[in-house]
């Protein structure tokens, strides 16, 4: 998730129960690009004990290959191509989800990447741009270019995050491609992950935004898949998570109000499981200082500390559009995965 899946957030997720592997934020590839230093840090300084795949977004064949050569000097688990980002500012540049309109171009990119990547090559895609007319051809390209892992978000680019997820299309990919397939889209909880796996027969699930709301979700999935008791999250646990999140993502040079505002974007997700009326969300959006923010957290999370945090987002409790995610996390461009 862009501006989310950085080194501090990876450390934080690993503290509560790491996924099987991480994908970085996407590295923008164009003629003037160089791998972003903070993204390289998430690879070079990764101490989570989990592999990290470097995620690329771009269309220039030469510069994609050049970037791969640079990245292979770092301890990457593999190279991931983003064919799923639905942000208009991205697809209008004919990268991310925009490339799904041009299967021939996708084939050229995969061919060039396959030649440049001696190890694992993975792809994240949606089921189409504004329709699914190219879907089967795109799946066949995954076989043709020997992609090692395919993650499928079961919506078109134009559907963004508004529609129901078309899990039948993910099941179709499982049947058609030779590599393992990860199911993505509305994986809100461990029971939901289990239901999606049963429906699609996918090899695992990819989880993005709901790991912001519930960093225990990977641990809970692992417990559920193993038939073990699933960890019960309390509001006191959530209060501790918010404190740790604030400290982990704090940098000395950022002003207090800016960091409080950044926290609000994370807490838009957390608040979906605190109370069905959205009172926590309403209050925290008005905080302007660290002291005010944590006073609100104490009032809403420690009044009944042993009360369960909702395992699914409360219906109707939604993030405000202008601060839904930390600077683009809703684009679903970088995610974490867990296999069944």
| Residues with catalytic function | 85
**Among candidate residues 330, 323, 237, the one with its CA nearest the CA of residue 281:** 323
What DSSP designation does 199 have?
Answer: H
Nearest to 338 by CA among 244, 235, 215: 215
Q: State the helix-helix crossing angle for 7-17 and 235-249, rounded to 10 degrees.
A: 150
SS3 102: coil
Range 293-296 contact pairs with CB under 8 angstroms and sequence separation of 24 or more = 293/246, 293/260, 293/263, 294/242, 294/243, 294/246
CA distance from start to end of the chain? 22
Is residue 285 within 8 A of residue 292, CB to CB? The reply is no
Q: What's the rounded Cα separation, in Å, for the pair 54 and 46?
A: 12
Beta strands, E only, the chain: 21-28, 52-57, 78-83, 120-126, 149-153, 181-184, 204-207, 336-339
The CB density around residue 314, as the number of other CB atoms within 10 Å, is 15
């Amino acid at each position: 998730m862009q501006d989310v899946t950085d080194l501090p957030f990876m450390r934080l997720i690993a503290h509560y129960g790491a996924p099987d592997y991480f994908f970085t934020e996407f590295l923008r590839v164009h003629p003037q690009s160089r791998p972003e230093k903070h993204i390289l840090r998430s690879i070079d300084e990764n101490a989570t004990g989990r592999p990290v795949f470097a995620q690329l977004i771009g269309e220039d064949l030469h510069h994609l290959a050049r970037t791969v050569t640079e990245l292979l000097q770092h301890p990457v688990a593999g190279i991931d191509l983003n064919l799923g980002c639905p942000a208009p500012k991205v697809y209008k540049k004919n990268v991310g989800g925009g490339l799904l309109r041009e299967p021939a171009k996708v084939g050229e990119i995969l061919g060039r990447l396959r030649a440049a990547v001696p190890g694992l090559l993975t792809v994240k895609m949606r089921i189409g741009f504004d329709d699914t007319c190219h879907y089967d051809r795109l799946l066949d390209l995954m076989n043709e270019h020997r992609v090692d892992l395919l993650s499928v978000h079961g919506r078109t680019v134009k559907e963004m995050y508004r529609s129901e997820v078309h899990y039948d299309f993910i099941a179709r990919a499982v049947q058609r491609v030779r590599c393992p397939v990860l199911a993505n889209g509305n994986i809100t909880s461990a029971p939901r992950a289990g239901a999606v796996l049963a429906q699609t027969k996918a090899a695992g699930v990819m989880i993005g935004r709901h790991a912001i709301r519930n960093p225990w979700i990977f641990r809970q999935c692992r417990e559920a898949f193993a038939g073990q008791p699933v960890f019960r999250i309390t509001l006191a646990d959530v209060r501790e998570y918010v404190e740790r999140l604030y400290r982990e993502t704090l940098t000395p040079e950022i002003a207090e109000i800016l960091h409080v505002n950044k926290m609000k974007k994370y807490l838009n997700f957390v608040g979906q499981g605190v109370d069905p009326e959205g009172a926590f969300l309403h209050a925290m959006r008005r905080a302007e200082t660290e002291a005010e923010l944590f006073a609100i957290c104490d009032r809403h999370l420690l009044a009944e500390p042993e009360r369960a945090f909702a395992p699914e987002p409360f219906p109707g409790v939604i993030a405000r559009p202008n601060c839904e995610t930390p600077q683009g996390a809703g684009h679903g461009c970088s995610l974490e995965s867990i296999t069944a």
